[in-house]
Amino acid sequence: MNSEHVEVIYTDGQKKQFPKGVPIEEALDAAGKGKDRWVAGRLNGVLLDLRSGLEEGGHLEGVPVDSKEGLEILRHSTSHLMAQAVKKLYPKARFAIGPAIENGFYYDFEVDEPFSQEDLSKIESKMKEIISARLEVKRREMPREEAIRYFEERDESYKVELLEEISDDIISCYQQGDFLDLCRGPHIPHTGHVKAFKLLSVAGAYWRGDESKPMLQRIYGTSFPDRDGLKQYLKFLEEARKRDHRRLGKDLDLFSFNDEVGAGMPIYHPKGALLRHILESFEKREHLRRGYQVVMGPTLLKTDLWKRSGHFDNYRENMYFTEIDEQSYGVKPMNCLAHMLIYKSRIRSYRDLPLRYFELGTVHRHEKSGVLHGLLRVRQFTQDDAHILCMPEQLHEEIQGIIDFVVEVMGIFGFAYEMEISTRPEKSIGTDEDWEKATAALVGALEGKGISYNVCEGDGAFYGPKIDVKLKDALDRKWQCATIQCDFTLPDRFDLTYVGADGHRHRPVMVHRVILGAVERFMGVLIEHYAGAFPLWLSPVQATIVTVTDSQVDFARKVWEELKGMGLRVELDDRNEKLGYKIREAQLQKVPYMLVIGDREVSAVGIAPRRRDGTQLELMSTGDFAALVERECLEASKGRVGLGII
RNA sequence: GCCGACGUAGCUCAGGGGUAGAGCAGCUGAUUCGUAAUCAGCAGGCCAAGGGUUCAAAUCCCUUCGUCGGCUCCA
């Protein structure tokens, strides 16, 4: 092979030679398949534009538009397309950034007037014009200085700011028609590749997410290779609205919020309270069997104590304070203080350790008004909180025990989750050495279990690094639930000690951890996870008895009492309505079982159960039905919960 | 907290300066019915709260509270 040629190896192993500089597009077409499906090429793992020339040989593959990278490129290009449309309609707009995100893209602009819903339609129309023009999307490389000059001349201060942080001498821009944007690429070859897109919403967003920086206008949108994909996604959004726990909380009469009470303070109605009670009983039992001890601390603690713990200095803006008899008190935002004082209430021996204090502790945090979100972010919530005090050499095992606990519980609820390790933030207390030790303990425990995790630098709590477990809501937004946090500082501040085998005092280490996290948030995620159709063991109402006519009401009452007596959660619908009406209502309430009682059942002394999925069971006795329910509960809860609640 | 939208009956929503509307739910009556809506009648609102503009405000303006979508923060 001479230097004028490059050799390409395709994914099927086939090899071909081309003159150097041949466009990737041509080299891919030569393989004879997939023409037009590609939005980019990948040479030796690097994504490149279809129009860029091959300067070196190697493994080459086409990136199909419906692959993960292909979609990303399409969406990124759609965001550029939108920016071009905005530039045409609002020449004074300044441009910030416009990346592809998980299900679409956004672009941030600085404009005099925020965009309205009508503006979005206008922008969409302009985008369609640009698509029809099939403008070529050209990559242009230029010296950094030249690019800075170009954007300075156009008063694009955000682009200049971005450029000033790029260290490369040569940077790339992409041009389509008269619109040029700073971008790494790659992009689709021409605007005609955008087939199905929609602008979804407008929102304010701080430049670089920093509230001290100007607020920009962000337009969110999405883009798909074809109309069907877009339609499906819009359908998913619609379905997600039906699963929304705020919607279901109302429909299923679980909880409410009230203007007169205040924001972020949930009110539990009977069924919501029962659901919560079931969760909490389950939790208590699970903790007791794992060697935790249940404790309880007060809600108000003197401010001096919060000063000693470091909360006053580091967490004050999230706390509520009040005064009693001229003494300042703080409402607890965390449960740790009382637990420390329990530890301190007597001399501890190494033989006592580890100590695991568990509390369903209700805390209050002043969350900013704009972030409140149904049950998922509130100002009053109850954590399934525990603090483990142990010897440093027990730390690893304790953390592994907690991880096992989390994995087991998430398995019972059937949640998929992501684990993250967060390291030291800027605002924090403790020595570097402590932080390193604690971080190493967390990493070691996860790696020991072979669990994969992401690292979030600087996202730790002020007192220590942590492992977070994130669950997703109906819209795939992630919410932190379980968290395991090391703390080498509180035992120090409170001078916690234990007497070792050597007769000397030593410092224990502490782990803060929650499994569900906040019961409120967990319930919110749980409601969306099951779309309100809870498994039998969690369902606040497990069965509704429905009578066919008035003449069966007496018998139905007896059945009702009997089933309640056996520990089932049953309701009776003896209203004078047609059977279909009552079935429909129970169905909409997502009750797992409907127990039909007509003349047949009265004479056979039984009930005819119908599952909420529509399947019809044989007429059976109340005892058989209770046994069925028990079996199903035990199965779904992996043996934890049968009939009744503790 | 910031940007934007929004707040009308229990719920879902219409009405946008001139007497508050619909469907569902509720109540009453009729009907007594076999697996996702029986019929009829009745009742229900200080239009989130407070202030202004106007002869007149649910409607226009201001403030507050709350909700929604984001930013940021976090369980």
CATH of the domain at A292: 3.30.930.10
* Res A113: pLDDT: 85
Q: Which residues of chain A have pLDDT under 50?
A: 1
- Looking at the fold, whether A153 and A205 belong to one and the same domain comes out as yes
DSSP A503: S
Q: Is residue A176 part of a domain?
A: yes
Amino acid A384 CA to nucleotide B11 C1' distance, rounded Å: 34
* Res A34: pLDDT: 61
Judged by phi (left if over 0) then psi (alpha if -120 to 50, else beta), residue A78 lies in alpha
Residue A167's CATH number:
3.30.980.10
- Looking at the fold, whether A106 and A202 belong to one and the same domain comes out as yes
Amino acid A120 CA to nucleotide B18 C1' distance, rounded Å: 36
Q: Which residues contact A143 (CB under 8 A, 6 or more apart)?
A: A169, A170, A171
- Looking at the fold, whether A451 and A548 belong to one and the same domain comes out as no
Please name the nucleotide lying closest to A262, CA to C1': B66
Q: Is residue A641 part of a domain?
A: no
Q: Is residue A192 part of a domain?
A: yes
Q: How many distinct structural domains can be found in chain A? A: 4
d(CA A143, CA A135) in angstroms, rounded, equals 25
- The two beta strands, A293-294 and A355-364, are parallel
H-helix or E-strand spanning residue A85: helix A68-89
Which amino acid would we find at residue A363? V
Amino acid A103 CA to nucleotide B13 C1' distance, rounded Å: 30
* Res A3: pLDDT: 67
Q: What is the ipTM of this complex?
A: 0.93
Q: Is residue A236 part of a domain?
A: yes
Residue after which a domain boundary falls, among A494, A528, A562:
A528
Please name the nucleotide lying closest to A617, CA to C1': B35
* Res A36: pLDDT: 65
Please name the nucleotide lying closest to A594, CA to C1': B35
- Looking at the fold, whether A194 and A283 belong to one and the same domain comes out as no
Burial of A411 (0-12, 13-18, 19+ CB in 10 A): exposed
Residue A573's CATH number:
3.40.50.800
Q: Is residue A58 part of a domain?
A: yes
d(CA A132, CA A226) in angstroms, rounded, equals 15
Amino acid A86 CA to nucleotide B6 C1' distance, rounded Å: 26
Q: Which nucleotides of B are covered by protein (CB under 7 A)?
A: 1-5, 7, 11-12, 30-38, 48, 65-75
pLDDT tens per residue across span A265-316: 999 999 999 999 999 999 999 999 999 999 999 999 999 999 999 899 888 9
* Res A33: pLDDT: 64
- Looking at the fold, whether A230 and A150 belong to one and the same domain comes out as yes
d(CA A275, CA A365) in angstroms, rounded, equals 24
Q: Which residues contact A410 (CB under 8 A, 6 or more apart)?
A: A417, A469, A471, A482
Q: Is residue A273 part of a domain?
A: yes
d(CA A471, CA A526) in angstroms, rounded, equals 10
- Looking at the fold, whether A600 and A625 belong to one and the same domain comes out as yes
- Looking at the fold, whether A141 and A234 belong to one and the same domain comes out as yes
Amino acid A202 CA to nucleotide B6 C1' distance, rounded Å: 14
* Res A312: pLDDT: 93
Residue whose Cα is closest to the C1' of B71: A205
- CA angle A222–A225–A228, rounded 5-degree value: 85
* Res A79: pLDDT: 96
- Looking at the fold, whether A130 and A209 belong to one and the same domain comes out as yes
- Looking at the fold, whether A46 and A158 belong to one and the same domain comes out as no
Please name the nucleotide lying closest to A250, CA to C1': B11
Question: Where in the sequence numbering do the catalytic residues of A fall?
Answer: 336, 365, 383, 385, 387, 466, 512
CB distance A470 to A436 below 8 Å: no
- Looking at the fold, whether A216 and A95 belong to one and the same domain comes out as yes
Q: Is residue A447 part of a domain?
A: yes
pLDDT tens per residue across span A221-263: 999 999 999 999 998 888 888 999 999 999 999 999 998 899 9
Q: Is residue A355 part of a domain?
A: yes
CB distance A454 to A420 below 8 Å: yes
* Res A459: pLDDT: 82
Amino acid A380 CA to nucleotide B73 C1' distance, rounded Å: 16
- Looking at the fold, whether A373 and A484 belong to one and the same domain comes out as yes
Domain range for A230 is 69-240
CB distance A99 to A105 below 8 Å: yes
- Looking at the fold, whether A378 and A415 belong to one and the same domain comes out as yes
Please name the nucleotide lying closest to A584, CA to C1': B36
